[in-house]
Amino acid sequence: MRMRVILSAAVLLVTGCASPIGPPFGPWPEADSVFGILMILLVGVLLYRIAKRQSLKRPESPAIHILQERYARGELTRDEFHKMMREVSAS
């Protein structure tokens, strides 16, 4: 409930309907709407960039995970591990 009230207040501030200095927010009455639209676009662009950055991360191959486990258990030497990692990464 409290989060909903805070979110509602934030939306009112962002859209300019309840600016801290009172309406109008800027030198003309439409400045409230322009400011609100710009803020919503800014948040949208930021969310898009975060989502795009997350999608660029390449998922780790199960083969890499297995090699890391085998190296941690001591089944592979350092040279063997690096050689196999290069082979797996190349494919």
Predicted confidence at residue 37, as pLDDT, reads 81
pLDDT at res. 25 = 54
Q: What's the confidence (pLDDT) of residue 76?
A: 92
Identity at 2, one-letter amino acid code: R
**pLDDT in single tens digits along all 91 residues of the chain:** 455 555 555 655 555 555 455 555 556 666 667 777 888 888 888 888 888 887 666 667 888 899 999 999 999 999 999 999 999 887 6
According to DSSP, residue 1 is labeled -
Kindly state the DSSP code that residue 40 receives in the 8-state scheme.
H
Structure-token pair, residue 15: 């859209």
